Amino acid sequence: MVNKKHVILLCLVAIISITPLIMYSGLGEDEGYFGGADDSAGGIIEETGYQPWFSSIWEPPSGEIESLLFALQAAIGAVIIGYVLGYYHGQAKARRREKIDEKIQNVDKTSK
């Protein structure tokens, strides 16, 4: 039988997920609901007359290549983080295994 707590949590997740979709149906970037902080901050900085100190060494030829490079950077970062977490997880597992083996050896020595 399904636990009532799980059903209630599932209903809450569904309500929290669907509510924003209903509230903003048909409204989007034209009305400024999902503009983001980058757009508004860029506009304010341009109004002050700020001049950048330097320019980019290389600009990607298109937005697709820029997105590709960003995704590649994110993938490389995820691989590095996954490797580090896996390494430390393996080290902890090996330490636990050594402790268990030591306990088994101590029990074997005392039983002889």
Whether 66 and 60 have beta carbons less than 8 Å apart is answered as: yes
Calculate mean pLDDT across residues 14-33: 77
Distance in angstroms between the alpha carbons of the first and the last residue of the chain: 49
Between 30 and 74, residue with greater pLDDT: 74
The answer to whether the predicted template modeling score (pTM) of the entire model surpasses 0.85 is: no
Residue 29: pLDDT band with limits 50, 70, 90:
low
Instruction: Identify the sign of the CA torsion 90, 91, 96, 97.
Output: positive
Q: Match 């799980």 to its residue by tokens.
A: 6
Query: What pLDDT does residue 94 have?
Result: 95
Residues whose CB is less than 8 angstroms from the CB of residue 34 and which lie 6 or more positions away in sequence, other chains included: 28
Say which residue the tokens 């290549």 belong to.
65
pLDDT, tens digit (0-9, with 9 covering 90-100), for 83-92: 999 999 999 9
Which sequence spans correspond to the domains of the chain?
62-112
Residues 39-97: pLDDT tens digits?
A: 778 888 888 888 888 888 988 899 899 999 999 999 999 999 999 999 999 999 999 99
